[in-house]
Every structure is written in structure tokens, then in C-alpha cells.
Amino acid sequence: MSGKITKVSGPLVVADGLSDANISDVVRVGAQGLVGEVLTMTGDKASIQVYEETSGIGPGAEVVTTGSPLSVELGPGLLENIYDGIQRPLPEIRKISGSTIARGISVPALSREKKWEFTAKAEVGDNVSGGDILGTVQETPAVLHKIMVPPNVSGTVTELHSGEFTVADTIGYLETEDGEKVPLTLMQKWAVRVPRPYRRKFMPEKPLCSGQRIIDTCFPLAKGGTAAVPGPFGSGKTVVQHQLAKWSDVDIVVYIGCGERGNEMTDVLMEFPELTDPKTGEPLMKRTVLIANTSDMPVAAREASIYTGITIAEYYRDMGYDVAIIADSTSRWAEALREMSGRLEEMPGEEGYPAYLSSRLAQFYERAGVTECMGSDRRRGSLTAIGAVSPPGGDTSEPVSQATMRIVKVFWGLDSSLAYARHFPAINWLNSYSLYLDTLAPWYNETYGDGFMLSRSRAMSILQEEAELQEVVKLVGADSLSATDRVTLEVAKMLREDFLQQNAFDELDSYSSYEKQAALLALILSYEKYCREAVSGGLSDVQKLFGVDAREKIGRAKSVTQDKFASAYAEIDREMKLQIADAAGK
């Protein structure tokens, strides 16, 4: 089925003679075969968004529909790869067109040459349905790839072989109830705009440990939850996202660079193979899939990149893994949506964004969750979605931030004034929040005892008190405060500098285990306790308390290694107790 172009306006192309095409079908445009997708149909006229630059395309050029919607290939070979917004492998494109991306290149997403060692787990005669595991492939040393029956297929296995196969080879056959013989392969296809099915969803109950103190201790994210990181430029959004991609205790990370800098993707590509996953001991790249639609790449593919990413993430979730998808930045995705909407001459909503902006955002985040996967073994997987938001001028009253905040449960608000003072991560502890605290509390209490949550609330209230006291200090100076208040200020300063601040570029400080976080927080609070005791014992010159030697040691306590921190912190605590007692003159 082919039609002819009648109009070209940037990435939007209108063609007639396409009465057979379906909405959302992928089409090939012009002699170069540029990839596009049908957005609307009027009679036999189709409006098409083209995922590549349309210069040189004019009326009369041919448009051919492929008859199927935008889909991704799912199978072994996804990990360690980097794709563009419509799942074309960028390293392969580089082999064809060099340093730049030429138009109309068509490369399969999964290599058709590479052979994988498949170990069959199902047996001939087994009755299987969608999601059941046929066998496994060791995709990378870190990840065992489970080959599943595609979601909408069921029947009896009539043939299944272990051995070396490419993703396109037939590994066996399945006979459906109607007697139809379905060939099985290592690869399956799935339309990106349709969420992959699961049996049911559960409430998220386990935290996602990111090794970042302000996140794990103050504003935790649950596995299967949703979070947003809004912030003006220069406030460290990307570093926060990279840290989450590096250290989250999940099995798979899908990182989408959506309309962001090319060098950031290069950074991930160069750094991740060098870093070791604390969980598996393998390079982090072995569990990572990258999707890159950098800001100079065509804008229409930006809209698709988010869906490409989350579909791949769902596929690994279906294997029963904990998956995190990190999208930097959803604002660029929304802008791509706005640009296409403008070209379609739709009536704009707020700030030119289409009226369906918030429903699209909600649909994206709703694909996250803890799920019981398809398949008879009732395994559970989780998909955690984290999106960066880049509000213009850092003002979160704009539509994308507002629509996102209505959906997500965790909000890590980045603050430029903190970034200017080089307080990183620049997450503002006063206006950030996590709505998972209640659902996660049982887990914390069970794992680390009641103390952890108590310490956390104590620390948060000290920080809150500090903000109020600062107002007073600005008017009358710190001298006029009572000794108790001055202790509060000092402890708050320690919490900010010695606990919340974390250097992503420091080898020892970049990742902090839960145990170490809890111990460090306890150490600071124990300093508070000794100081308060001294003050209530009648000490008035608080400066003496702040000058004790152990105080400086707390300042350096972050960089104590994981194997030594317990004894080192206990030692500091002991010294501190003596020194403070000494200062108080007892």
C-alpha cells in the first residue's frame, strides 16, 4: 500500500492514498525510506510524524506503510547496547555512516549474526502460555536472560532445542489449541505504545537502595515506585540521575537520554564499563541499556524514545527482575509533543502544550509498579520510573512539572542556591518529599530496628528547626540565641555538611551503604545528645562544645571505607563523649 506526499512542514508530512493504513502504523517516506508514524487520518489523507530530518522531501514522493505499529525487538543483545529513539543500534549506524547519523539507515536492533547459548528449561509436551519460561540465555555475566513465551501465545511445546542460536533462528515449535504450529525464537516484538501485560499489581514495599544518603535516608524511593527530579540547569540533575543509574540495587537499568547532551551519553558509555556493580561484582554496563536521542537528533524520535525505553524495561520486568528506568529529561519529551501538536494545528492548552500532556505523562509513569508477571510460576518483578524535569527558569509552576508532581510519589527538588554553594546533591531537604515513607516503614523497622526511622525523623525536624532559626539569626545574629538553639544550629550544619553532602566524584563517598548511612546519622545525633546533656548540665559557652577534636573527625567520617566504618564510628563516639564531658568541666 503506498501513497503520495502532498505537504511537508518540518517533521510533519501529509500524504494521500493511504486509506489502508492504520493509525500508529510505521511508514517509510520518500526514496530514502525515512521512518515515520501515522498520527491522524482524514479520508485517505494521513498526517505522519517523521523520525528523521525531512529536508529534500517534497510533494509527490512515495509513502509506503509497513502495516504494523512502532515496535521494538526484545531478546538477548539489548544489554550493553546503545539505541536511538526508535531502537536503531548506534554502534552499528556508526559502522555504516561514520561519526554522524545519515538518514534512512535501516539496521536490525538485535544482531542477526551473533549466536547465543540457549538452555531449554521447558520440555516437549509442556502446556505453556504467555510469560512461561522456555529457557535461558546468559546474556551478560551479570544477567540471565529468560526466554519467555510471547504474551498472547499459548499451546503445547512440540519441539525445543538447546544450543547455539541467533535471535532469528527457530528454537522450537508450539502447537496452539487450533492446531496451528507457531515457531519459537529467542526474540519477540512488541508495540511500544502498548503496555506489556502482567497478572496484577502490588503496593511497593521495599526501598530502592541508591547509596545516596539524602535519597535513601530522607526521601526514599520504593522499588516499583515513581520519582521526579526537577531542577534548573546547573543544579546537578544529570549527576543525580547518573548516580541512580550507577548504584541502584536493581538488576537492570534502562537509561534514556531524551533531548539532552551528546557528551552525557558518551560519559555513560565510557564510564559504566569501568565501574563495578557492588551487587554482582560485574561492570555496571553489563546490566544497562542506553537509549539516546540527544538534543541535535530529530525531535520526533524524542517522543518515541521514552516508549522504546519503557517497553524494554517492561520486558526485563516480565522476567521477574527489578528494573529501573531513568529518563533525562521528560521536559524535552513534552516539548517534542508540543512541537508536533503545533504542526498538527491542534488547539493548545497551557503554554502551548497539548491538552493531553498530563494524561500522556500519567500513562508513562503508570507503567511502573510491582507486578506479578505473566507465566505460571507467578514470579514478581518491579519497574521503577525516575524522570528528570527541566522547568524553564527553574520555576516548577509550569505545566510539565505540575503534571508530573500530580503523578509521582517522590519529589527530589533541586535547588540552584545549594548548587552555587557546591552543596551536592543539591536536593532541597525542606521542599522534597517521599510518599513511600509509610509503606516502607515496616521494612526499615524489620531490617534496621526502630532506631532508623526515629533517627530520620529527628534529623528532619532539626533541619526544619534550623530553617526557622535562620530567620531569627538574620535579624538579630547568632549570639542572641539560647545555648539550646545554638546546638540545634550546629547539629543542623553537621547534618547538612557531614551527612547530606555527598561527593559523586569521590571514590569512597560516591556510594554509601544503608548500614553506613544509619551509623553516620546515629553518630551525628549522638553528638547532639552529648551536647544537649552538657547544656542542660549548665554549660553556657557552647563554642567549647563545637571545638572538640572529635567534631572534625565526624566531618571526615564519610570517607571511611565500608569494612572499617563500624569500628571507626564507635571510636569517634567514645572520644567525643569524653571530650564533651571534659569541655563541660566534669
Partner 1 sequence: MIREYKTITEVVSPLMVVSGVVGVTYDELAEIELPNGDVRRCRVLEVDGDTAVVQLFESAQGINLAESKVRFLGHPLELAVSGDMLGRVFSGMGSPIDGGPAIIPEERLDINGLPMNPAARDYPNEFIQTGISTIDGLNTLVRGQKLPIFSGSGLPHASLAAQIARQAKVLGGGADNFAVVFAAIGITFEESEYFVREFRRTGAIERSVIFSNLASDPAVERIATPRMALTAAEYLAFERDMHVLVILTDITNYAEALREISAAKKEVPGRRGYPGYLYTDLATMYERAGRRIGKAGSITMIPILTMPEDDKTHPIPDLTGYITEGQIILSRDLYRKGVLPPVDVLPSLSRLKDKGIGEGKTREDHSGTMNQLFAAYSSGKEAKELMTILGESALTPTDLLLAKFADEFEKQYVTQSTEENRSIEETLEIGWRLLSILPKSELKRIKPEIIEKYLPKT
282-311 residues in contact with partner 1 (CB under 8 A) are: 292, 294-299
Task: Lay out the site mask for partner 1 across 408-427 (x = CB under 8 A, - = otherwise).
Answer: --------x--xxxxx----
The span from the CA of 157 to the CA of 169, in Å, is 16
Task: Lay out the site mask for partner 1 across 7-46 (x = CB under 8 A, - = otherwise).
Answer: xxxx---x--------------------------------
Query: Which CB sits closer to partner 1, 294 or 358?
Result: 294
Residue 131 Cβ vs partner 1, minimum distance, rounded to whole Å: 33
Could you tell me the strand order of the sheet in which 155-160 lies? 127-128, 155-160, 170-175, 181-185
Cβ neighbours, 10 Å, residue 569: 20
Query: Which CB sits closer to partner 1, 188 or 404?
Result: 404
C-alpha cell at 420: 552555587
Q: Which of 42, 55, 152, 540 binds partner 1 (CB under 8 A)?
A: 55
DSSP string covering 150-191, please? Answer: -TT--EEEEEE--EEE-TTSEEEEEE-TT--EEEEES-EEEE
Binding window for partner 1 (CB under 8 A); candidates: 257-265, 428-436, 511-519, 530-538: 257-265
Quick one: which H or E segment has residue 145? Answer: strand 143-148
Say if CB 430 and CB 463 are below 8 A apart: yes
Please give the biggest Cα pair distance in the chain. 94
Report which DSSP code applies to 21. Answer: P
- For residue 568, with 0-12 CB atoms within 10 Å meaning exposed, 13-18 middle and 19 or more buried, which class applies? middle
The three-class DSSP label of residue 59 is: coil
Q: Which of 159, 175, 205, 267 binds partner 1 (CB under 8 A)?
A: 267
How many residues bind partner 1, per CB under 8 A?
Answer: 80
Residues numbered 447-486 forming contacts with partner 1, rule: CB under 8 A:
473-479
Residues numbered 120-179 forming contacts with partner 1, rule: CB under 8 A:
none
Query: Which CB sits closer to partner 1, 30 or 75?
Result: 30
Residues numbered 304-363 forming contacts with partner 1, rule: CB under 8 A:
332, 335, 338-339, 342, 348, 351-352
Query: Which CB sits closer to partner 1, 42 or 55?
Result: 55
478, 480, 485, 489 alpha-carbon torsion, rounded to 10°: 0
Residue 57 found at the interface with partner 1 (CB under 8 A) = yes
Residue 393 found at the interface with partner 1 (CB under 8 A) = yes
Residue 259 found at the interface with partner 1 (CB under 8 A) = yes
Binding window for partner 1 (CB under 8 A); candidates: 123-131, 389-397, 439-447, 451-459: 389-397
Query: Which CB sits closer to partner 1, 345 or 450?
Result: 345
Query: Which CB sits closer to partner 1, 263 or 276?
Result: 263
- For residue 347, with 0-12 CB atoms within 10 Å meaning exposed, 13-18 middle and 19 or more buried, which class applies? exposed
Residues numbered 490-529 forming contacts with partner 1, rule: CB under 8 A:
497, 503, 505
Say if CB 239 and CB 510 are below 8 A apart: no
Say if CB 335 and CB 354 are below 8 A apart: no
Q: Which of 261, 279, 360, 379 binds partner 1 (CB under 8 A)?
A: 261
The span from the CA of 301 to the CA of 432, in Å, is 32
